[in-house]
Amino acid sequence: MNKRATNLICEYFLPTIVCIGLALALGATPWLQRLENITLDNITQFRVHYQTPPDPRVVVVGVDDASIDAFGLWPWKRVVHGEFMYAVSHVNPSAVAWDILFLEPSDFDGELTKGAAMLNGRVVFGAYASDDDPGQPPLVPASNRSLLRVDGDVKKIPSSQFALRPVHALQQVGLTAFCDTPAGPDGVRRHVPMLQRIGSGIYPSLSLQTLMLHGNLSPQQVRVVLGEAIYLEGETLQRRIPIDEQGRYLINYRFGQKESNNVGFAAVTISHMEHYVFNKPHPEKPDLKGKILLVGQFSTGLSDNGLTPFGAETPLVLVHANVLDNILREDYARRAPLWPVLTGALLIGVIGLLLYSTRTLAQQALFGLGVPAAYLAFAAAFWTNWSLWLPLLWPVLGFGGLQVFMIVRQLVREQRAKMQIKGMFGTYLSPELVNRMIESGESPQLGGHEETITAYFSDIQSFSTFSEKLPPDRLVELMNEYLTACTDIVLEEGGSLDKYIGDAVVMMFGAPMPLPNHALRACIASQRVQLKLAELREKWKSEGDRWPSIVHEMQSRIGLNSGPVIVGNMGSRTRFNYTMMGDNVNLAARMESGAKNWGVYSMCTEATREACVRDGGDRVVFRPLGRIVVKGRSSAVPIFEIIGLKENVTEKTRECMRLFEQGLESYYARDWDGALALFAQSGELEPNQPGATPGVRTNPSRVYSEIASLYKVAPPPENWEGEYVMTVK
């Protein structure tokens, strides 16, 4: 198999098969079947508004609230039922089926029997299967007629040892049939048994026996093939009723109590008695001639209610009414075969992957939502118009899973592409800037905006000497190790790389991504860099003659300043750089370059110190170095040395700081002798001592001792306020 075919299978066919296959397997689970049934029930309730009325040949006679008001509380004396049958006998209904049990003898059985006799055998009384011996008299064979032509495994037919049949007198004037409507696993009556096995006999259900009576069919004219159908082979009625291997019929619910063709029990009895017995014409008398009458309980206060797709309190007589309506109109519920649906799902899934896997997420989402919605509408239309039950959920679940796979796969691909872009451009730009470019989805444009940040400049002391002492390849190796260590620390603290200028590193804290405590993070980064450089010096020294002694004494100066600057893309229209500019940037550069004049290696402005103290308290230790006028400026700027992180500053250094600050006070007061004495004391405690600390040539105490000595000989003017004017950058 070539590579293209393999990719086609792995990219499109295999994901479709896996997603649809898993959904099909989930479709067989009880919880999803329950959800499937609930969805179908909702469609069933919806379709009642768009279907034809029920078959007029089936009339439900309900024991409703009006009938309870007319004849008293239930149960009624059987004389009431006898009067009903006597009344309707005048219109010759084709069958009267009772979904009401007359199991116990009564004083009024004679009236009931007389009324039933008036129907000339066109009455069916309900019976019920039972495993308990009811202790009834022997059954009447003419009333309880077993079906003889049954093919298949009859052991699968619902069975019981006994049957609760009507009283013996009623069996002599009518037929008996089973009105059992057992609930399914979810409590809903979806299937009804068309057959009931009692001992060795197989008997029809109430619905089947009523149809046989309606069509004048004998048991010999009914042929049963379990797992296929019940065949009614009469002269006036021929039907093929689909059943499963247990003889159960899948009910195609078409109507509930509101939609059924129903009349009240009392209304029928009273109107027919007045019209036919008392010769009082009754204009509201329903037309029942030749109809199938199903008598059952309709009142909500009675017990013969149960759960159906139309609700939890559906009169169960409507189960039989729906079955009769289905069979008379040959309106059978059919389950769609699996293979056409499965094949269609696989084809649509593969086509969707082929056509939409490279589209935008919006197009994929539209396709992913549109196809399931269209399928559900398609399935609802088939159920509404043709009673074809297409599986509702597993195709949608499978297709939805496939869309999730497709979207996730595209997200992974896009993420890989982003990572590739970040990998390529991250070597030239800061990761934050690359992320910002990718997330914006827009091409970079020239322009800038004002942002308050902390600018960070660093430079290697006497770098030109390194260039003289090292060949190019070794110099590059050294610089890469140093710059990697510095940059990693700054990026860890939230800083962003602006640029490298030879050995110099330009960073910014607070752009392009906002950083609320940018001054604190910049100060901490500066001290971590200095600590890391000390480690590198030891490492290089341990490598023996690999590096000249100047490398062992490498020092880096860092300058910081905080304030509003302009940040953005600056340069030409074809080549630009995300950078910063403004007076505060220049001042940060002056802090770095001016640090060597004061013998320090980390120096910042008052703005940076105040912001750092505000956000970090005493986390970072500072030493005031006075006020200077940097080159290019006319006003004095208070400057500070960043001594180190609090946990790394010794008591000796703190004592040095105390004496140095006292010396500054004497210096500002023009007490040159006092200042010189204090600077001499602090000079002995300075952490950086020439000749002792690698690369150190001076320190603040020595610098101020020299300045104080000069001022002692040539004092500054009267308006002097302690500032020192820098003559070099």
Q: What angle (nearest 5°) sits at the alpha carbon of residue 486, between those of residues 483 and 489? A: 145
Strands (E) in 592-666, as ranges, are 602-605, 620-629, 637-645
Low pLDDT (below 50) residues in the chain? 428
- Residue 351, pLDDT score: 81
Distance, in Å, from the CA atom of 98 to the CA atom of 433, rounded to the nearest integer, reads 83
Handedness of CA 299, 304, 306, 310 (dihedral sign): negative
- Residue 530, pLDDT score: 95
Handedness of CA 37, 43, 49, 50 (dihedral sign): negative
Phi-psi region of 339 (alpha: psi -120 to 50; beta: other; left: phi over 0): alpha
Distance, in Å, from the CA atom of 38 to the CA atom of 45, rounded to the nearest integer, reads 11
Is residue 337 classed as helix, strand or coil in its secondary structure?
Answer: coil
pLDDT digits (tens, 9 = 90+) for 258-301: 888 899 999 999 999 998 888 888 777 888 999 999 999 988 77
Is residue 235 classed as helix, strand or coil in its secondary structure?
Answer: coil
Distance, in Å, from the CA atom of 199 to the CA atom of 258, rounded to the nearest integer, reads 40
Distance, in Å, from the CA atom of 230 to the CA atom of 224, rounded to the nearest integer, reads 4
- Residue 596, pLDDT score: 86
Cis peptide before 372, with omega less than 30 degrees from 0?
Answer: no
- Residue 357, pLDDT score: 66
Distance, in Å, from the CA atom of 456 to the CA atom of 612, rounded to the nearest integer, reads 14
Residue 694, both tokens: 């690698």
- What the chain holds in terms of domains, given with CATH numbers, is 3-39+335-420 (no CATH), 48-332 (no CATH), 441-644 (3.30.70.1230), 650-729 (no CATH)
pLDDT digits (tens, 9 = 90+) for 401-455: 887 777 777 777 777 776 776 665 555 455 655 666 566 555 555 668 899 999 9
Burial class (CB in 10 A: 0-12, 13-18, 19+), 127: buried
Which residue bears the tokens 């204090």?
A: 678
**Contact of 242 with 225, CB cutoff 8 Å:** no
Distance, in Å, from the CA atom of 645 to the CA atom of 157, rounded to the nearest integer, reads 88
- Residue 7, pLDDT score: 66
Q: How many CB atoms lie within 10 A of CB 440?
A: 9
Q: How many CB atoms lie within 10 A of CB 718?
A: 5
CA proximity to 24, closest of 338, 250, 335, 337: 338
User: What single letter denotes the amino acid at residue 598?
Assistant: W
Distance, in Å, from the CA atom of 36 to the CA atom of 550, rounded to the nearest integer, reads 80
pLDDT digits (tens, 9 = 90+) for 495-521: 988 889 988 999 999 988 888 999 999
Is residue 458 classed as helix, strand or coil in its secondary structure?
Answer: strand
- Residue 425, pLDDT score: 56
